[in-house]
Chains A and B, each alone.
Chain A
Amino acid sequence: MAKILTVDDSASMRAMVTFTLSEQGHEVAEAENGQEGLNTARQQQFDLVISDVNMPVMNGIEFISTLRKDEGYRFTPILMLTTESGQDLKMQGKQAGATGWIVKPFDPQKLVAVVNKVLK
């Protein structure tokens, strides 16, 4: 099963993502913000990264664009988690190198469906 990194400043969101994906048999690591996410992602290779956009210290856009430049993450799917359905933010995310996005609110089933799709 896949190794997944979830980056979100909200503990409840992280807990939900971790729980849902762990139940699917994935190995999930958590990080609280972009900076922590980078540190974690550079210690071990993940197959999928799911990142919130609005975070303190380092936001999701900066995190994604930095991580995407890393050798090991050039082709890794990186998804943005966002409540904003605004086109602007998605474009920013895409430009930073995000693979796609999941719009909050989402339920566990939807998360699983998207993750399965990306990991296939």
Chain B
Amino acid sequence: MTDPMERFRQVFFDESAEALDTIEQHLLALHLPDVDDEVINDIFRSAHSLKGGSATFGMSALADFTHVMETLLDMVRAGTRSMDQAVVDCLFECLDCLRNLVNHYQFDEAVNAQQIEAVKAKLQFLIDDVASGDGQQSEQLAETGADQGKHWQIAFVPSPQLLLSGNEPLRYLDELSELGDLEVTCNTERVPELNDLSALDLHIEWQIDLSANDIISKEDLSEIFLWIEDDAELTFTCKDASSSSSNQQTDAPTPDVSKKASTAPSPSSEEATAAPSPSSATAPAQANKQRATQSIRVELKKIDGLINLLGELVITQSMLSTFKDLERFPQLQRLQEGLGQLERHTRDLQEGVMQIRMLPIDFCFSRFPRMVRDLCIQLGKEIDVEIIGETTEVDKTVIEELTDPLVHLVRNSIDHGIELPAKREENGKPRQGKLTLKAFHQVGNIIIEVGDDGQGLPVEKIRQKAIEKGVIKGSERLSEQAIKELIFAPGFSTAESVTDLSGRGVGMDVVRRNIQALGGQIEVRSEEGQGTTFSIRLPLTLAILDGQLISVAGETYVIPMLAIIESIQISSSAINRVGKQNVSFKWRDQFIPLLNLAETFGCHNSGEPLPDTLLVVVVESDKQQYGLIVDELSNHQQVVVKSLEANYIKVDELSGATILGDGSVALILDVGALTQRLKVH
């Protein structure tokens, strides 16, 4: 059998990650000097669970560290030390150490012993600062005497209320009997008259003579009675030392009586055990309510397996729906009806399963307050972070892939966007800058915005820089918005000096590429002096896509519905040509580029005469509209995206492939990448 402790360790690691996040969030939310007791308690509790767990699972370094941390927190909790800036700063450092230690045990990460010792010393300093010289552990002053021997006389006089703490005196006698032979004398003198007798009280006393098999100490005996040392008068006398036995009270000499007497309260206890509590009827509803928010941890692999399987189901289902030749097979009517239902259920199931992969974007956003805090200290800026819509749910993969670009955007905002406090005041703005992280849903998309109220994008500076870097020509005339969007161009960075934060060669073009790889788009809105907002638009999920099937030269392709603006019929005479190339056509009062997909994919020779009327799908990417000439429009359906890269090789202009109902493969067009073709034209 594998060590069961190993499994609990895994649970512990998950838990510690949560505990660390809790501590971090509380620390970030603190506004000294007002400190809510509940917050301190919560921080304490998190550290405390970490300590308990780590000690149980043998992670001694982590247990040692949390112990010191807990000592300090306990003092804060008890009010003997105030929660001041020094403590908060130290606790932040503790967090780093704790993460390191947890990672050490979980992933074998090297322990940063130097830092940990330093922080420990800091903690100790904060503790000693107050605690110098008060020792309250003096309660356990054990009387010393002749403390070892084989023969003991024990007087055991329990308090009448002993039974009410769930303690059963016989249990202690039993335990004593494991040490050696007992001679038990029961004293029932204190038992009142029957009329005065309360069933719940205990009035029996015991004298016990113990002849132990081995030499035992007084501590061994105290240990046995540890739980009730305050609920009973206990005297332990070693008879080895003074061998004359002391006078024994012999009112009720037989052990039998003691047995009988002491079991007297027991029936009532058993009765209580058997009888269901009268209040039980009202409890279930409340319990159910609490259960509703419970969760279980599932390995991601299992969920992905389920999603894959579901993809297959969607394919099979669309395959079945091709049987619809009702004229030849009238009995298919019933099959059709069943299939209609199956389709609805499949769709519900699909939504449900996709939902499992969704996580609140908080998983990504929650790291920023801390990051901003650290950067502010480094740069001498004052920034308040506002997070809106942190419960918005996003596919887990999207969250993972999104984190790096967002970190980059946030750093940019802090580094270049928000001004120093003095400069802000000069410009009549509040001293404290504001960074806003926002997430919300919008028709099948999720929008994530990173905004600041800083100085905005300097249009003229960007233009100059772009000319300098050769991104645009000096003669080029661009709209303001177009200039702002130059920051996404490869090889562009306005940072005058390379700071630690940004301007490290990873530019906004990488951010944009990352977002596009997720099937998303990024836009910038900026007002000089007012601030800058980056807006990222992403599909809700990557695994399934709403697609329009089209055919070109006998092959079926899929165009993502999100990219399509409309599909129209135009006459070939409406197309502007340069030489033999079809270049553009007039659409909604503007000329937009046109791409003949048959040519693009090398199915036709260019210049082959086109039919009189053409089907054109107008698509949009990066605010650029263009038309795609297709041969035929067919179904609009959800398709399961299969990676080309994983199954074949990466192909530019195709974002993946899917399997259609008839089992054939259809390629999914990457509308963004196809715009490159237009530029070649």
Contacts and interface: CB of A to CB of B under 8 A. Distances in A.
B275 interface: yes
A99 B277 contact: no
B131 to A, nearest CB: 14
Contacts of B7: 15
B73 to A, nearest CB: 11
Contacts of B156: none
A76 B285 CA distance: 25
A104 B52 contact: yes
Most buried by A among B163, B227, B290: B227
Contacts of B137: 87
B276 A45 contact: yes
Nearest to A77: B166
Interface stretch (B40-48, B250-258, B398-406, B604-612): B40-48
Contacts of A94: 165, 227, 230-231
Contact of A100 (B42, B44, B56, B227): B227
A24 interface: no
A28 B641 CA distance: 45
> Main SS of the interface on chain B?
helix
Most buried by A among B56, B63, B167, B269: B56
Interface stretch (B9-17, B111-119, B581-589, B654-662): B9-17
Contact of A12 (B11, B163, B164, B284): B11
Contacts of B284: 43
Nearest to B51: A83
Contacts of B8: 12, 15-16, 19
A45 B63 contact: no
B569 interface: no
A35 B289 CA distance: 12
Contacts of A77: 166-168
A74 B277 CA distance: 11
A99 B165 contact: yes
Contacts of B174: 120
B273 A101 contact: no
A73 interface: yes
Interface string B254-282: 00000000000100110011111111100
B369 interface: no
Interface string A104-120: 11111000000001101
Interface string A54-98: 111000000000001011111111100001000100010010011
A118 B357 CA distance: 45
A75 B269 contact: yes
Interface in A8-30: 9-13, 15-16, 19
Contacts of B278: 71
Interface in A32-46: 35-36, 39-45
Nearest to B290: A36
Contacts of B268: 75
Contacts of A16: 4-5, 8, 56
A93 to B, nearest CB: 10
Given A36-B287, A76-B273, A106-B56, A100 B226 contact: yes
A42 B279 contact: yes
Interface string B511-523: 0000000000000
A105 B166 contact: no
Given A78-B166, A100-B226, A105 B63 contact: yes
B287 A45 contact: no
A75 B287 CA distance: 24
Contact of B55 (A78, A98, A104): A104
Contacts of A42: 277, 279-280, 283
Nearest to B13: A12
A77 B228 CA distance: 13
Interface string B20-58: 000000000000000000000010110011011101110
Given A10-B52, A75-B163, A43 B283 contact: yes
Given A39-B287, A42-B280, A76-B273, A55 B166 contact: no
A104 B56 contact: yes
A98 B52 contact: no
A44 B273 CA distance: 10
B49 A10 contact: yes
Nearest to A76: B166
A19 B4 contact: yes
Contacts of A120: 171, 174
Nearest to A106: B56
Most buried by B among A9, A11, A91, A106: A11
B474 to A, nearest CB: 64
18 contacts: A9-B49, A11-B14, A12-B15, A13-B53, A16-B8, A19-B4, A42-B279, A43-B287, A71-B278, A72-B276, A74-B164, A75-B164, A75-B269, A75-B272, A83-B48, A97-B164, A105-B52, A120-B174
Ranked nearest first, the 3 interchain pairs of A and B with the lowest CB-CB distance are A100-B227, A105-B55, A75-B269
Interface of A: 9-13, 15-16, 19, 35-36, 39-45, 47, 54-56, 68, 70-78, 83, 87, 91, 94, 97-101, 104-108, 117-118, 120
Given A45-B275, A100-B227, 8 more contacts: A39-B283, A42-B280, A54-B45, A71-B275, A72-B276, A73-B277, A99-B227, A120-B171
